Structure 1
């Protein structure tokens, strides 16, 4: 018989646990005389789906579940080799990671990791659909907010089957790892810097000041920053200040034109009174394409030796008060 495609989505470690049983065998059919024993795997006719019993983590309970034996079109809580995460524009298929309720119970929880196609695409980690963390946009070399992970890295996973490491998982990377990684840690129009413990981690971007100076003094930056009073950023001798080595702000409402140079991007930003900042859309080959932000700049942070340069539009009257590189 063909197994229904979606009873419960399982991960690779579930399959490994099943295969460890000494009496494990692969079946194509079950009947009153050929039952499915604990540890057996029932495969569909095309071998795309498998069904069997499992116990997650240290749970004493047994579950029966169906998982993809080969295509990973419906991921559960683990990103597997060759598995897709994202959106198929043609079919509308949305590949999303969803956390388990606990290590011992495989029911879906309220955390998701999914691709957001609005504006300039990025990936969000959400809790109850509210953003908790994001990757930032793809820069051509890496995700803007994934520290130390680029297209030059190759990850090789292996399973060790012995008495000491039987079935164990080794943690490769986790996020958020510090306060500045949480979405909007310092509110809008600010930059979060985790590297100087003696100073407040939140800093207003050039041309902005704290929305609530009293809260800022108490090291509460959740209210973020607003334009300095009297500032003009609409065709009145404005200019740009470079903020170096940052995770780019949320690009959900960004404008993208891959045919423009960085200089042309600057000119386009100057023409639009709503344009707040610009940068290269792709870092390769010295940078190309135009990525421009409009309105508030959300969820920025500083890195020590990676990140992109972002050019913030400021009032001409205060342009000279900033150095060429803002830190």
Structure 2
């Protein structure tokens, strides 16, 4: 092991001999990167080097788009910036990447790969992934890779989610603000409670969720198959989401912002402006729990919040002024007697949040209904997987939170527990004339509501 003084001498000498700027994609074990020097990926899509956001006096090693240097997609030392430009990125004698102060030798960041393999090189791949690999190994058996440690951006090929074998959770975190890349309080991660769903949080507060995975997609998300692919893997070893590229002429990234939003952006090759293809804030209904408990948010309605069938506003005066936070309560109390209970089938919705729930992946829908009927606390049920006619059983207990209407997705159903007397009231109100009968049936069909 080299002494600190000899290592510093080696760093300074290597810096002088390496020239002011490099265009290679690989850093060898006897090389360094200092301010003004960069690595460039083989196709010149990405660049790595030192930067100081808005001349803040804080210095970081980052990766950015070669053509858009203002868009930083990864930062090594976002929690431990250098206070001047005298930093150096090097490979230590035991094979770790490290950011050091070239004058004092203080280590500000290390990859901590703990492999103790001196024959290591660092390479910036065309995907934007910075990897440590054995010098003669051209496989993807990397010693370390930046894709395992996301910053605020998800690039194609980067996994967002869990290595269930090791317990590693990869998620993205916003900058503290537009000029400070240290970790902010906005996170976007794949939640592993019941069926997976994406959760956007400010601290511990949920501000958006995608809806649970239903075997095909996340129940509240938009699919852009013609632009990019969504790869979802869920097995005993891994649970992760990944963006794939459909057209090599299109660049895409997913970024979480300090303002509290996450956006999927694309750029056509040769273009100069990014287009937002999807966002956590597509409309007001994406605001988590906007309408309160036991309600549904309908983007195309005015007002956008309505109580679920059989429920009324808990505070009508608040609802009159568009304050829906108190939510809705049942108009008719539920009985535990099974012959006093019916289920209302509501389609085309993002399923309620998984707060108080149970999941049985082997049950049929009929068995799920029977289980819900036997449990007085069960408020609703649904298939957990909609493939091949549906399977699995979700049951919700307590209030139903964050239901959103998607009229174009009628195959997504939830069955809500209702008092049989409540349904009789609907009949008494709407079936006064033959015309009103057909009007009522038509309304139920239009809103995907049927009795079960």
Identify the TM-score tier after normalising by the shorter chain.
Answer: 0.7 to 0.9
Could you tell me which of 181, 184, 189 is aligned with 2:289? 184
Matched-pair contact (CA < 8 Å) for 2:384–2:391: yes
Confirm whether residue 146 of structure 1 aligns to residue 206 of structure 2. no
Residues 224-276 of structure 1: per-residue CA shift (max 9 Å, x gap): 01122433255343010111211100024321112111111111110111111
Which residue matches 2:385? Answer: 282
CA distance in 1, matches of 2:228, 2:391: 23
Higher strand share: 2
What is the TM-score of this pair, normalised by structure 2? 0.58
Which residue matches 2:69? Answer: none
Matched-pair contact (CA < 8 Å) for 2:292–2:324: yes
Instruction: Note the C-alpha offset of 1:315.
Output: 0.5
Instruction: Note the C-alpha offset of 1:103.
Output: 3.7
Q: Structure 2: which 5+ runs fail to align?
A: 2-19, 42-46, 62-74, 77-128, 132-144, 230-243, 252-266, 428-440, 448-452
Matched-pair contact (CA < 8 Å) for 2:332–2:422: no
SS in 2 for 1:292: strand
Which residue matches 1:212? Answer: 315
Could you tell me which of 362, 369, 375 is aligned with 1:266? 369
SS in 2 for 1:139: coil
Residues 170 and 138 of structure 1: CA distance in aligned 2, closer, same or farther (over 3 Å): same
Alignment of 1:23-34 (within 5 A): 23-25=22-24, 26-29=26-29
Confirm whether residue 69 of structure 1 aligns to residue 130 of structure 2. yes
Residues 265 and 64 of structure 1: CA distance in aligned 2, closer, same or farther (over 3 Å): same
Q: Which has the higher contact order (CA 8 A, sep 6+)?
A: 1
SS in 2 for 1:110: strand
Matched-pair contact (CA < 8 Å) for 1:115–1:122: yes
Matched-pair contact (CA < 8 Å) for 1:28–1:42: no
Instruction: Note the C-alpha offset of 1:314.
Output: 0.2
CA distance in 2, matches of 1:149, 1:233: 44
Count how many residue pairs are aligned between Structure 1 and Structure 2: 293
Q: Structure 1: which 5+ runs fail to align?
A: 2-20, 44-49
SS in 1 for 2:276: coil
Higher helix share: 2
Could you tell me which of 245, 261, 279 is aligned with 1:174? 279
Matched-pair contact (CA < 8 Å) for 2:22–2:39: no
Which residue matches 1:224? Answer: 327
Confirm whether residue 318 of structure 1 aligns to residue 422 of structure 2. yes
Matched-pair contact (CA < 8 Å) for 1:119–1:253: no
SS in 2 for 1:173: strand
Alignment of 1:1-327 (within 5 A): 23-25=22-24, 26-29=26-29, 36-41=34-39, 52-55=49-52, 59-61=54-56, 63-65=59-61, 67=76, 69-70=130-131, 71=145, 72-149=147-224, 154=229, 156=245, 157-158=250-251, 165=272, 169-196=274-301, 199-306=302-409, 308-320=412-424, 321=426, 325=445, 327=447
What is the TM-score of this pair, normalised by structure 1? 0.79
CA distance in 2, matches of 1:89, 1:189: 34
Greater mean deviation of Cα atoms: 317-326 or 174-183: 317-326
Instruction: Note the C-alpha offset of 1:325.
Output: 4.9
Residues 93 and 125 of structure 1: CA distance in aligned 2, closer, same or farther (over 3 Å): same
Indicate the RMSD between aligned Cα atoms, in angstroms. 3.1
Matched-pair contact (CA < 8 Å) for 1:245–1:303: yes
Instruction: Note the C-alpha offset of 1:207.
Output: 2.2
SS in 2 for 1:293: strand
